[in-house]
Structure 1
Amino acid sequence: MTASANAASYFVDRHVDIRPNKIAFREAAGKKRQLSYGQLAQDSGVLASSLGRAGIRREARAAMLVLDQIEFPQIFWGTIKAGVVPVPMNTLLAPPVYEAIFRDSRATVLFVSAELWSSVEPAAKAVPDLEKVVVIGGDAPDGTVSLEDFIADAEPMPLVDCSEDEVAFWLYSSGSTGLPKGVRHVHGALGATAETYGDQVLQLVEDDVVYSVAKLFFAYGLGNALSMPMAVGATSVLYNARPTPEVVLDILESEKPTVFCGVPTLYAATLAQLEMVEKPNIPLRRCISAGEALPEDIGRRWSALWGVDILDGVGSTEMLHIFLSNRADDVVYGTSGIAVPGYDLRLVDEAENEVAQGEIGELLVRGASAADGYWNQREKSRATFQGEWTRTGDKYERNAQGRYIYCGRTDDMFKVSGIWLSPFEVEQALISHPLVLESAVVSARDGEGLEKPKAYIVLKEGAPSDELAAELKEFVKEEIGKWKYPRWIEFVEDLPKTSTGKIQRFKLRDKVPE
């Protein structure tokens, strides 16, 4: 089989001669369907042929509102084989956001899981460019076609050749502070992340079974459960619904993954769940975390319970996956580790000058997986992608050992008494208290108009009280310093989050302290 710069050549078709019967994907719920590497090569070729038969031309956009099920890799790789650009979409958005993405991307075809059709139908019918809707599973409603009928009697086609610099797929950013932005990634980017983080940090092997709580439409989930396992011929477990702590523990016990890819909020909630149930016996050899910085207390407790460290790392949609991370033989909780091989990092101040050791600066990253830019967002592209360097919007400091310590998002940082305060540092202190499950710290102004920290707290157990609030304030003073303690504490049932689990602090900043 001839090699091609088309990403599907490396990730899909080369496996036909090596491991055609090896299971690439299996579902953890429902029918427990599975898909071999050989069958994926066949099915993606049929999908590619069907796109051409339907008049969907090369470089057209194919929106994907698809749950984590075996049709996702079939469609994702089938569109890439055809030179069509897949656009995986967040399955948890509102109809107006879907409409905005359809209008922005000008997608001509939509692949949608039947369970999601009702949530996207108004948007799909409101846009002029969408010519065809293909429904996965169940009956096809009026004006749509089932996936079975769409691919019926089609013969697989060979993949189209292309440059590794050609745009292969888009991902829309999470839009935590506004409408999502279309991030364009090239064919070579998937291989770049597999060769760097996947091979040299995660160290996946063919025998691994991987389970990622982050869904495939996220950059983090796409790398965890699709490109990186496929690079080595491993198996991924897919689950198409919400990964609650109870569900995650069931999947860990029933599917026996060797690699678990989580996010900080899920690790914390799962630890709380494990205080009430027996820990399953599973062969975990690697755990990773991203999305937000992992609190030190959570990492230590997880490691003590399972005997496996969590490799906390930092990535972004713009860089496709993790570029800064702890490693299996070099974990220091409370830090994000060091640069992943293949990436360079800088910390700069507001004047673009490198900051000194121990000083706070914005993190910039350089590496081969950087996006080609935002679609229809020239000003934001120029502000984020500056030559070889990509601005992350994260504030960090670098210690004497060369490790990077997360301080917060650029928009979340603020000064108290003229000194930068990291909301994350205060949050870490709070959640190390035995009664606290989650916390979020934002700036608020006191009666004199000065900025001070305010904390929103979700309790693990116990009842909110003025006495507990006072206890938590004193606890923070003792843990990290007297000037950093939250001047106000508000107990809440839950915290506003994006669908990736990131806390939306900007929603909390709008509240006036009592």
Structure 2
Amino acid sequence: MADRRLFQQIADWDSLRAGFGWSIPRRMNIAHLCCDSWAMADPDKVAVIHLQGDGTRDVWSYGRLKAASDGLAVALAARGVGRGDRVAVLLPQHPAALVTHLAAMKLGAIGLPLFTLFGEDALRYRLGDAGACAIVTDGATLDRVMALEPDLPRLRVIVSTGPARAPVLGFDDLAATPGSGFRPVETEAEDPAVMIYTSGTTGDPKGVLHAHRFLYGHLSCLELAYGGFPQAGDVGWTPADWAWIGGLMDMALPCLFYGVPLVAHRFAKFDPEAGYELMRRERVSAAFIPPTALRLMRQVAPPEGLRLRAVGSGGEALGADLLDWGQARLGCPINEFYGQTEANLVLAACTGPMPRRPGAMGLPVPGHDVSLRDATGEVGTGAVGEVCVRAPDPVMMLRYWNKPEATAKKIVDGWLYTGDLATRDASGQITFHARDDDVITSAGYRIGPVEIEQALARHPDVVMAAVVGEPDPLRTEIVVAHVVLRDGAEWSGMEAALKEIVRSRVSAHCVPRKIIRADSLPMTATGKILRRALRRGG
């Protein structure tokens, strides 16, 4: 196949931006680009290396990936799944997750990735709000899905990679459906392909709907951040869950697009020594590793035999000491990039094409126009402004699902407002200043307080709850909950009970590290909790 790289050689950043232009076909489908085109050209080419729990390696070729996704698409279509329908993917890093996304895209449907640690409330809301008609899950999460089925009347197809039991269908059986004669639907670059829920701060989580074109929108950043990616012999891996945009779009699907073998393995809890051993054994050369994982890795001596060329990271800025450690101990630069679910990878700080300024988010990535703005327009050097991305942009969302008012507030007068505040120096480098919302950045996750507060309020003794972030040297921030109890309520045992509610109903990564009993909470005149005051006073 022809070389798919956007940059044939890496020059200085200004030259790369000046000479770059998008070339996105009007008709395109991510499943064709990331699977079928490779399967037709070289069906035996390695696509995914699945490291299974028993230590064995299950290697998936592009031909096998195509056959399974064709079969699943035929089986789903026979059960009424079609263009525009939402197909939920509640799976860990497993080839079945990729097969499901590809099958949905071949039908013109929309993949809906969901985190396997989501609790009952988090899953119910997302599946119900999206109106998902089908879900593919595994034995570990199937009971959670079945408990919710009565509340989800649109969910008519339930598939499990574990043992099938009526009415649950077996994934392997569906993927083995004969696909002879199957032809994927034709889609355009602007047709919806994936919907990823982002954390809510003043309301419910929002479904961020992306078009097929958003694959292309990620590529210019990744080619530069992974050191001229791809190169001969590259192997990619990330410990980030594929349910998040970082795991799915900063590594998994781009690897398939470029024909780079993708290592898939589920760490129930990230272990730096095990992560090092995986990279050494599988000869990983390009990795997306969130900041918290890097900090944990720094505490362990890297093994001999690593062949990393470049590490990409995002979520929060890395300090000079961590950047220096990466170069000295990993033997490669750690390049940083910035974005959010609505518009990912629009800024980057990359060793080589630009001077690195530790703590800076870097410069706008070729193909993306980024401005710092306030109510009067673009702000000057040194002034604080909100990070905004010019629309249209291939990496930018189509809209929020069923939330036109929120979409209108997010994209105003041709600019997408990220909610992040920053400054720009004389050289153009952008440095993060603060957030103008209440999202908590913890261990690489952007956590919204609302779902946690709602879960805490389910306890019969909790009158009010407010959740904020508190600075933490390892996780950037930890989740801290402030709760007001009813008169006469006992505090003994309350912290453990509240943490368990959040763990079971929202997610383990959202469990507060600290719970503070309060007599009252600071409020606005209209009755809204002032979380900023809690952050200052906490």
- TM-score > 0.5 by shorter chain: yes
* Correspondence 1:133 to 2:121: no
Gaps of at least 5 residues in structure 1 are: 414-422, 428-453, 461-495
Equivalent residue for 2:43, pick from 14, 20, 39: 20
Report the equivalent of 1:193.
Answer: 218
Whether the 8 Å contact between 1:64 and 1:89 is mirrored in structure 2 is: yes
Alignment of 1:454-465 (within 5 A): 456-457=471-472
Alignment of 1:171-182 (within 5 A): 171-175=196-200, 179-182=204-207
Equivalent residue for 1:245, pick from 272, 276, 279: 272
Alignment of 1:304-383 (within 5 A): 304-319=328-343, 321-329=344-352, 330=354, 331-349=356-374, 351-366=375-390, 367-383=393-409
| Cα 1:229–1:456 shift into 2, 3 Å | closer
Amino-acid identity (%) = 25
Alignment of 1:142-161 (within 5 A): 142-156=166-180, 157-161=182-186
CA distance in 2, matches of 1:317, 1:155: 34
CA distance in 1, matches of 2:149, 2:296: 36
How big is the shift at 1:400? 1.3
* Correspondence 1:267 to 2:287: no
Whether the 8 Å contact between 2:239 and 2:267 is mirrored in structure 1 is: no
| Cα 1:258–1:500 shift into 2, 3 Å | farther
Report the equivalent of 2:312.
Answer: 288
Whether the 8 Å contact between 2:221 and 2:345 is mirrored in structure 1 is: yes
How big is the shift at 1:264? 1.1
Whether the 8 Å contact between 1:210 and 1:224 is mirrored in structure 2 is: no
Equivalent residue for 1:211, pick from 202, 221, 237: 237
CA distance in 2, matches of 1:155, 1:234: 25
| Amino acid of the structure 2 residue aligned with 1:91 | T
Whether the 8 Å contact between 1:293 and 1:336 is mirrored in structure 2 is: yes
Report the equivalent of 1:108.
Answer: 133
* Correspondence 1:411 to 2:434: no
CA distance in 2, matches of 1:56, 1:387: 37
Whether the 8 Å contact between 1:292 and 1:502 is mirrored in structure 2 is: no
| Cα 1:171–1:237 shift into 2, 3 Å | same
Report the equivalent of 1:229.
Answer: 255
CA distance in 1, matches of 2:184, 2:265: 28
| Cα 1:287–1:458 shift into 2, 3 Å | closer
Report the equivalent of 2:284.
Answer: 257
Local SS of the residue matching 1:83:
coil
CA distance in 2, matches of 1:345, 1:24: 34
Provide, for residues 212-247 of structure 1, a one-character-per-residue CA deviation record: whole Å limited to 9, x for no partner: 121111111112332211221101111123323233
Whether the 8 Å contact between 2:26 and 2:189 is mirrored in structure 1 is: no
Provide, for residues 370-411 of structure 1, a one-character-per-residue CA deviation record: whole Å limited to 9, x for no partner: 000100111111111225421111111111111111112123
Provide, for residues 34-73 of structure 1, a one-character-per-residue CA deviation record: whole Å limited to 9, x for no partner: 2111221222111111111112122111111011111111
My pick for the range that moved more, 399-408 or 384-393, is: 384-393
Q: TM-score, structure 2 length as denominator?
A: 0.74
CA distance in 1, matches of 2:359, 2:398: 32
| Amino acid of the structure 2 residue aligned with 1:264 | P
Provide, for residues 273-316 of structure 1, a one-character-per-residue CA deviation record: whole Å limited to 9, x for no partner: x1xx4534210001111122223332222222223111111011
| Cα 1:174–1:162 shift into 2, 3 Å | same
CA distance in 1, matches of 2:365, 2:508: 26
| Amino acid of the structure 2 residue aligned with 1:8 | A
| Cα 1:507–1:500 shift into 2, 3 Å | farther
Whether the 8 Å contact between 1:289 and 1:312 is mirrored in structure 2 is: yes
| Cα 1:281–1:372 shift into 2, 3 Å | same
How big is the shift at 1:18? 3.0
| Amino acid of the structure 1 residue aligned with 2:229 | L
How big is the shift at 1:19? 2.9
CA distance in 2, matches of 1:168, 1:499: 28
| Amino acid of the structure 1 residue aligned with 2:298 | L
Gaps of at least 5 residues in structure 2 are: 2-24, 443-468, 476-502, 515-529
Report the equivalent of 1:45.
Answer: 70
CA distance in 1, matches of 2:281, 2:330: 17
Local SS of the residue matching 2:213:
helix
| Amino acid of the structure 2 residue aligned with 1:238 | A
How big is the shift at 1:501? 9.7
How many residues of Structure 1 are paired with residues of Structure 2 in the alignment? 435
Equivalent residue for 2:321, pick from 289, 292, 297: 297
CA distance in 2, matches of 1:246, 1:508: 38
How big is the shift at 1:87? 0.7
CA distance in 2, matches of 1:316, 1:15: 30
CA distance in 2, matches of 1:133, 1:198: 35
Local SS of the residue matching 1:337:
strand
Report the equivalent of 1:437.
Answer: none
CA distance in 1, matches of 2:536, 2:27: 57
Whether the 8 Å contact between 2:302 and 2:329 is mirrored in structure 1 is: no
Whether the 8 Å contact between 1:34 and 1:70 is mirrored in structure 2 is: no
Whether the 8 Å contact between 2:218 and 2:250 is mirrored in structure 1 is: no
Whether the 8 Å contact between 2:225 and 2:312 is mirrored in structure 1 is: no
Q: TM-score, structure 1 length as denominator?
A: 0.77
| Cα 1:280–1:334 shift into 2, 3 Å | same
| Amino acid of the structure 1 residue aligned with 2:405 | E
* Correspondence 1:32 to 2:89: no
* Correspondence 1:91 to 2:128: no
CA distance in 1, matches of 2:399, 2:195: 10
CA distance in 2, matches of 1:504, 1:384: 31
How big is the shift at 1:498? 8.4
| Cα 1:224–1:501 shift into 2, 3 Å | farther
CA distance in 2, matches of 1:199, 1:159: 29
Whether the 8 Å contact between 1:315 and 1:323 is mirrored in structure 2 is: yes
Local SS of the residue matching 1:115:
coil
How big is the shift at 1:147? 1.0
Report the equivalent of 2:460.
Answer: none
Provide, for residues 234-281 of structure 1, a one-character-per-residue CA deviation record: whole Å limited to 9, x for no partner: 011111233232332222222220011111111111112x1xx45342
Whether the 8 Å contact between 1:62 and 1:109 is mirrored in structure 2 is: yes
| Cα 1:311–1:35 shift into 2, 3 Å | same
My pick for the range that moved more, 238-247 or 109-118, is: 238-247
More contact order relative to length (CA 8 Å, sep ≥ 6): 2
CA distance in 1, matches of 2:531, 2:140: 30
How big is the shift at 1:353? 2.2
CA distance in 1, matches of 2:320, 2:471: 19
How big is the shift at 1:459? 8.3
| Cα 1:502–1:397 shift into 2, 3 Å | farther
Report the equivalent of 2:418.
Answer: 392
Local SS of the residue matching 2:246:
helix
CA distance in 1, matches of 2:367, 2:430: 17
